Chains A and B, each alone.
Chain A
Amino acid sequence: MSDVVVVVDYGAGNTRSVRAALSHLGKTSVVLSDPEAILEASFVVLPGVGSARSAMEHLNKTGAADALRTRFSNGGATLGICLGMQLALQTSEEDDGVTCLGLLEGDVRRLQADRVPRLGWANVDPWNESFYFAHSFVGQSPDTVATSDGFCVAVRNGSFFGVQFHPEKSGDAGLNFLEQCLTLV
């Protein structure tokens, strides 16, 4: 098992920030979609970049999608961030409907809020901590473990932890959260 954190590549977007946060916590990371590396890593991050359709197309094409499913059933620790959390559910309304990884029960719907995208720092219950959000879609799942403004913003089942906020953009609170996730391995 490799100690290097694998940040899964969707083919586009900002993975630099999540890598910088990991590096801040003393973790080396690589960005790739190689199925074998995804299976063998001690910790995998599904980052929050891009759109559901293009991300799933990339994951399916590279074999990363199946590797992530196998990893989940093997109990390999995986953290999904923003889109990465949404992709773990079964389907998304984004891009006229996308079949996602289906690691956890639940689906992703267009956010119904006063302002969409929902941008900014918001309190997360019951953790009583503020994190940074930037999303137009939101999951709903029986595996919800935290909410913000009543929305599902964290899901957890077995070795998968998913959060709608961006820990890599949430200052010290985010770093503390990431550090705790890394200890779950």
Chain B
Amino acid sequence: MPYSRLIPCLDVANGRVVKGVSFVGLRDVGDPVELAKFYSDGGADELVFLDITATPEGAKTMTSVVAQVADVLEIPFTVGGGIRTVEDASRIIEAGADRVSLNSAALSNPELISEIAELFGSQAVVVAIDAGDGVVHTHGGRNATEIKTVPWAIEAASRGAGEILLTSIRQDGQRTGFDLELTRQVRDAISIPVIASGGAGNAQHIAEALRITDAALIASIVHENPAGLKGLRAEIESFGITLRPLKEKV
């Protein structure tokens, strides 16, 4: 089995990282390229960039950000937000992203999952599910749909998704731990990897999630102290989780 993965998520608006990144060691805390490199050096296993503007102008800016990131980053990264067509996905992947993450576009047009998977392979398609009260939500968790979470995860997997990014909207931003029950339910129902998201407040929370699933998405816990990523990894390992060994630079 591959090692458990720790994945910082960066929200990007108009080419700038937004929300809660505060750290004096960085020259420019809003620069996605610099921050990506910083997290990569600190031991992130992958990164996720989420375009929270999701407008046509935002998409153009995002493509250029992706290309700049790809030129300096030697770990994989996923890009989500505003990807509605095969062309959008191609643009982002050809700019250098490893995977695209689909959310509401996959709900309104599930065929999109298979189309992108056929072109780039399943490993290039992540389906993001914002879940709460047993159903899938849209618009950043504000609108509940009638689609049930577990059946949707099963459908996404059968249509060719290579991974599910599962966010508990109730836990998101609360920092009180992941929704382990939800994570377990979804993971047990499918055979593709599942990234747990929403609720990471400390190393123990992350370790709990990694005991039942493949990867954990982290945001504020690491943005508040980007230099603490190495320490966080060590702390997670002290709870019995094996992360990939980092080699010290010589």
Chain A residues, Cβ within 8 Å of B67: 16
Q: A51-B118, A118-B2 are in contact. Are A14 and B74 (CB under 8 A)?
A: no
B249 at the interface (CB under 8 A from A): yes
B238 at the interface (CB under 8 A from A): no
Chain B residues, Cβ within 8 Å of A156: none
Number of inter-chain CB pairs below 8 Å: 119
**Smallest distance from the beta carbon of B215 to chain A beta carbons, Å?**
7
Indicate which residue in B90, B95, B120, B163 contacts A119 across the interface (CB closer than 8 Å): B163
Please name the 3 residue pairs, one residue from A and one from B, whose CB atoms are nearest each other, closest first.
Answer: A120-B2, A16-B96, A134-B123
Fill in one digit per residue for A130-170: 1 if any B CB lies within 8 Å of its CB, else 0: 10111110000000000001000000000000000010111
A-B contact pairs, 6 of them (CB 8 A): A12-B120, A16-B71, A16-B96, A20-B72, A115-B191, A175-B74
Chain A residues, Cβ within 8 Å of B28: none
Q: A14-B93, A172-B247 are in contact. Are A117 and B163 (CB under 8 A)?
A: yes
Q: A16-B67, A115-B214 are in contact. Are A166 and B3 (CB under 8 A)?
A: no
**Smallest distance from the beta carbon of A178 to chain B beta carbons, Å?**
10
B193 at the interface (CB under 8 A from A): yes
Complex Cα distance A51/B121, Å?
A: 6
Complex Cα distance A50/B119, Å?
A: 6
Q: A20-B71, A51-B121, A54-B119 are in contact. Are A169 and B96 (CB under 8 A)?
A: no
Q: Which residue on chain B has the smallest CB distance to residue A21?
A: B74
Chain B residues, Cβ within 8 Å of A103: none
Chain A residues, Cβ within 8 Å of B24: none
* Interface size classification for chain A: 35 or more
Contact at A119–B2, with CB atoms within 8 Å? yes
Chain A residues, Cβ within 8 Å of B5: 119-121
B45 at the interface (CB under 8 A from A): yes
Complex Cα distance A153/B119, Å?
A: 23
Contact at A17–B2, with CB atoms within 8 Å? no
Contact at A14–B96, with CB atoms within 8 Å? yes
A49 at the interface (CB under 8 A from B): yes
**Smallest distance from the beta carbon of A99 to chain B beta carbons, Å?**
19
Indicate which residue in A12, A14, A133, A136 contacts B97 across the interface (CB closer than 8 Å): A14
Q: A117-B122, A132-B75 are in contact. Are A13 and B93 (CB under 8 A)?
A: yes
Q: Which residue on chain B has the smallest CB distance to residue A171?
A: B74
Known pairs A14-B96, A116-B191, A122-B2. 19 more at Cβ < 8 A? Answer: A13-B94, A14-B98, A16-B94, A16-B95, A20-B74, A50-B119, A115-B1, A115-B191, A117-B192, A120-B5, A120-B45, A121-B3, A122-B1, A134-B123, A169-B75, A169-B76, A171-B40, A172-B74, A175-B74
Contact at B193–A117, with CB atoms within 8 Å? yes
Complex Cα distance A153/B191, Å?
A: 22
**Chain A CB within 10 Å — which of B72, B120, B215 has the most?**
B120
Contact at B94–A14, with CB atoms within 8 Å? yes
Q: A136-B122, A169-B76, A171-B75 are in contact. Are A119 and B193 (CB under 8 A)?
A: yes
**Smallest distance from the beta carbon of A56 to chain B beta carbons, Å?**
14
A114 at the interface (CB under 8 A from B): yes
Complex Cα distance A122/B193, Å?
A: 15
Within B111-127, the residues touching A (CB, 8 Å) are 118-123
Q: Which residue on chain B has the smallest CB distance to residue A178?
A: B74
Chain A residues, Cβ within 8 Å of B1: 113-115, 122, 149
A174 at the interface (CB under 8 A from B): yes
**Smallest distance from the beta carbon of B206 to chain A beta carbons, Å?**
15
